[in-house]
Amino acid sequence: MDFWDDAYRTTPPWDIGRAQPAFIDLVRNRELNPGRVLDVGCGTGENAIFLAQNGYSVTGVDVVQDAIRTAKAKAASRKVKVEFRDGNALGLEFEEGEFDNVTDSGLFHTFQDPDRSVFAREIARVLREGGKYFMLCFSEKEPTDWGGPRRVTRREIEETFSPRFKINYIRDSSFATRIHDKGGMAYLTSATRLAKLST
Ligand code: SAH
C-alpha cells in the first residue's frame, strides 16, 4: 500500500477539506438508512464526520494510518464522535450484517478487476439485508488526459454489484477535487443489499 502512504505525504487531490457535495445531497434527501454507516477508504474523514454530524453512527476505515490519525484529530477538534480505524476494505474486520449503510467516496474506482468482486462480496457481507451502498466514482465521461484513477462504466458497476445488490440508480454526478474547477465527471450509485440466497 506504498502508493497510498505516499499520497498522504502531501495533501492529495481528493482531500478537499469538506464533504463531497454528492454525499451532502444524499443526507439532505434522507437516502441513507438510519443507524450505522461504514465509510470505506475514508481518507482524512470529511465524509464520515459530516455523516456523524447528521445523526448517523459512523465507522471510517482506511489502509493509511497517517490518514486515520488525521481523521481522528479532526473529529476530536470538531467534537464529533466517529470511530476511525485502519483496515483493508478487501478484508473487513466486521461481523456479518453489522451496518445499515456503506459509503464509498473514491475507493471503488481505484481497484483492479480481480479486487472488484472481492470488494463487492465484503461490503455485501457487512451490510444487513436492505442495507444500502452509496458509491461515488469517476465515470467514463471524465477525460483521461490528467491521469487519475480508473474511469468506470455503468455496465461495470452493474456487473460488479449484481446479483448481491439491487441497483437503485447510477446517476451522473460530480467529484469535487483540488484539481477540477467544477468537479470531475462522476457516477453516483445507490444499491440495496438483497436477501442472502438460502443455498
Ligand atoms: N474517501 C476519501 C478518500 C478517497 S481516495 C475522500 O473522499 O477524501 C481513496 C482512499 O482509499 C485513500 O484514502 C486510500 O488510502 C484508501 N484505500 C485504498 N485502498 C484501500 C483498501 N484496500 N482498503 C481501505 N482503504 C483503501
Residue-level pLDDT at 1? 59
Helices (H), 1-112: 2-7, 21-28, 46-53, 65-77
Report pTM: 0.97
Percent of the chain predicted with pLDDT > 70: 98
Average pLDDT over residues 122-148: 96
Contacts 24+ apart (CB under 8 A), 14-17: 14/43, 14/105, 14/106, 14/175, 14/177, 14/178, 15/43, 15/44, 15/46, 15/178, 16/46, 16/176, 16/177, 16/178, 17/46
40 phi and psi, to 5 degrees? -90, 135
Ligand 1 atom closest to residue 5's alpha carbon, by position in its atom list:
15
Domains of the chain (ranges; CATH) run: 3-193 (3.40.50.150)
Bond preceding residue 163 cis, omega within 30 of 0? yes
Average pLDDT over residues 77-82: 98
Mutate to test the pocket of ligand 1, among 62, 85, 102 (most ligand atoms within 8 A of CB): 62
Residue-level pLDDT at 198? 57
Is there an atom of ligand 1 within 6 Å of 131 CB? Answer: no
Is there an atom of ligand 1 within 6 Å of 63 CB? Answer: yes
Average pLDDT over residues 100-112: 98
Residue-level pLDDT at 197? 65
In this prediction, residue 199 has a pLDDT band, given cuts at 50, 70 and 90, of low
Average pLDDT over residues 56-85: 98
pLDDT tens-place string over residues 168-179: 999 999 999 999
